[in-house]
């Protein structure tokens, strides 16, 4: 029995020291090499600080809307709804989002509504939408701000992040940066 307990205790102590000390310091050290030293991306505007890499709740017509969030945009509780695509409650929620979107964006046909604007991301905190999801909202935002659709579309084009190295990943628009740019436009 002693031949099993002593190695088990040694392994437990080694793992405790390694994973609570060496590994943690190693990960922290790698984070220091990352942009912003692993502290996330913070944007300051109008005297407030925003985390650019975490979705923000925008619901007014004058703003572009982000993806819905299953966790109400609370970064402390990241996660999805865990409801499958055939769950009746999930389907009712998505239909409600579609109805709201169509009500607030007259002239947009149901088949033109991007899925990302009515379904939450896996984390519930995705800060980005596609350029198409931003473009489908141009008429509503332009009307609410009394701007031309061309001026709003130009802002979308200016803040659109191209794929990494021109071929890795999709083009994307950070909703917070887009809305701050629209605020600065006026």
Quote the tokens at residue 161: 């992040």
111: confidence class by pLDDT, cuts 50, 70, 90: very high
The rounded distance, in Å, linking the Cα atoms of 142 and 139 is 5
pLDDT in tens, 160-170: 999 877 778 89
Each residue of 65-76: pLDDT tens digit? 999 988 888 877
Give the contacts of 44 (CB within 8 A, at least 6 positions apart).
Answer: 50
């Amino acid at each position: 029995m002693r031949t099993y307990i002593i190695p088990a205790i040694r392994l437990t102590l080694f793992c405790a020291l390694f994973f609570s000390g060496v590994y943690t310091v190693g990960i922290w050290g790698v984070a220091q090499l990352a942009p912003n030293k692993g502290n996330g991306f913070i944007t300051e505007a109008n005297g407030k600080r925003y985390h650019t890499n975490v979705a923000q709740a925008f619901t007014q017509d004058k703003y572009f809307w982000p993806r819905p969030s299953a966790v109400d945009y609370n970064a402390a509780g990241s996660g999805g709804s865990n409801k499958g695509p055939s769950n009746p409650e999930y389907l009712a929620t998505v239909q409600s989002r579609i109805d709201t979107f169509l009500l607030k964006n007259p002239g947009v046909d149901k088949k033109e509504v991007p899925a990302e604007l009515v379904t939450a991301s896996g984390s519930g905190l995705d800060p980005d939408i596609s350029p198409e999801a931003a473009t489908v909202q141009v008429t509503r935002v332009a009307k609410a701000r009394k701007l031309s659709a061309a001026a709003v579309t130009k802002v979308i084009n200016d803040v659109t992040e191209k794929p990494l190295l021109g071929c890795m990943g999709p083009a994307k628009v950070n909703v917070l940066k887009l809305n701050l740019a629209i605020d600065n436009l006026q």
